[in-house]
Amino acid sequence: MGITHHTHGVENVQAIANLALIRGMVGRAGCGLMPIRGHSNVQGLGSVGVTPKLKDAIFDRLQHEFGVQLPTAAGRDTMACMEGAASGRLKVGFCVGGNLFGSNPDAGFASKALSTLDQLVYLNTTLNTGHAWALARETIILPVLARDEEPQATTQESMFNYVRLSDGGPTRHQGPRSEVEVVATIAERVLGADSPIDWSSMRRTSRIRQAIGRIIPGYGAIADIDRTKKEFQIEGRTFHRPRFATPDGRARLHVHEIPKAPERRQNEISLMTIRSEGQFNTVVYEDYDPYRGVEGRDVILLHPDDLLRLGLLDGDRVIVQGPGGMMPDIRATAFDRIKPSNGAMYFPEANRLLGRAVDRQARTPAFKNTRVSIERT
């Protein structure tokens, strides 16, 4: 995330890949590049094509498998959805897991955008900040089962591109259903018997896996995993020979100009948002951060040279102002492991400072390298 959360995040990744290619590190056994893409939901969503534009192979196979004609209108990424909600073009939101409010930059805008919707439905295992700060005209919160409570086996994809079976376990409370059952039931009720897809059968995760095996490139082994119980690696992800998924089989180098940093005023720094050890995504479990030896989350970590330049002492309270908003009563904290002229604050609290700048190619928000000003409280 430190690589991709920039307005030039794609170029960052390509520059790293360039270096590895030039050194001969890609396309032979024992070395290479491995993107660390987060937890299994992040991995699996991308693998099965949940993107604003489906890959052609998945698009064609879906149409063939189910005998449907899929829409070809341009899809929306997350920021485009938020902007569509704010403008009134989108009326309904349906969130399968996660915390859409808490994971968006510019928290003030995110709250306003989601609150503009006519209806917002959340499927969640745990209450989160979005359930308090991002309520539409009508908001429905449906509690669902966590993976270790699922009544059926599910699968997860590791960062090494391996897929394994997860057996689930007993439920803690009566009432909540699995996400699969909720989505399939809604589809069955809305679309009825005329749907080309048998949504009743799609309540079975094994049926979904069989469809994935036929539709998703590299995922053929998942259709048999209920019988074999064997973990498998997705095809086409590991390169032991210098033959790549391009028309001519050769890797591509990408040439970029290093972006020029804008002039910085005396009281400004470049801010990155970070996570502590005691949190999972937007859910914070404890205030102490053992990674950095910091107590509390109402802090901005600054190099001692910057404290001196700004006329501050370690522990002074400051106001931090960014393109998205302001945070008062923040504790300036000396942290010599950060480079001068840079600072760090905790995500998701510091989201309210950030603007809505995104990478022009991937449309990933810039949670890093945001210019903020600092003043003594």
pLDDT in tens, 70-82: 999 999 999 999 9
In a domain, 18, yes or no: no
Closest CA relative to residue 215, chosen from 376, 63, 52: 63
What pTM value is reported for the model?
0.91
pLDDT greater than 70 at residue 253: yes
What phi and psi, each to the nearest 5 degrees, are found at residue 39? Answer: -75, 180
Strand 138-143 with 119-124, pairing: parallel
pLDDT greater than 80 at residue 233: yes
Residue pair 274/23 in contact by the 8 Å Cβ criterion: no
pLDDT given for residue 92 in this prediction: 97
Q: Which residues contact 347 (CB under 8 A, 6 or more apart)?
A: 273, 274, 275, 282, 367
Q: Which of 189, 214, 233 is the last residue of a domain?
A: 233
Closest CA relative to residue 367, chosen from 375, 376, 358, 226: 358
Same domain, 275 and 324: yes
Domain that holds residue 98: 37-233
What average pLDDT does this structure show over 16-42? 86
CATH number at residue 300: 2.40.40.20
Q: Which of 216, 233, 250 is the last residue of a domain?
A: 233
| Confidence band of 51 (pLDDT split at 50, 70, 90) | confident
| Confidence band of 207 (pLDDT split at 50, 70, 90) | very high
CATH number at residue 215: 3.40.50.740
**pLDDT tens column, 115-149:** 999 999 999 999 999 999 999 999 999 999 998 99
Q: Distance between CA 1 and CA 13 in Å, rounded?
A: 11
What average pLDDT does this structure show over 33-39? 78
Strand 279-280 with 299-302, pairing: unpaired
In a domain, 343, yes or no: yes
Same domain, 53 and 103: yes
Same domain, 54 and 144: yes
Q: Which of 208, 233, 258 is the last residue of a domain?
A: 233
pLDDT given for residue 40 in this prediction: 65
In a domain, 254, yes or no: no
What average pLDDT does this structure show over 338-344? 97
pLDDT greater than 80 at residue 41: no
Same domain, 226 and 347: no
Higher pLDDT, residue 81 or 47: 81
Percent of the chain with pLDDT over 90: 78
In a domain, 347, yes or no: yes
Same domain, 317 and 229: no
Total of domains in the chain: 2
pLDDT greater than 90 at residue 361: yes
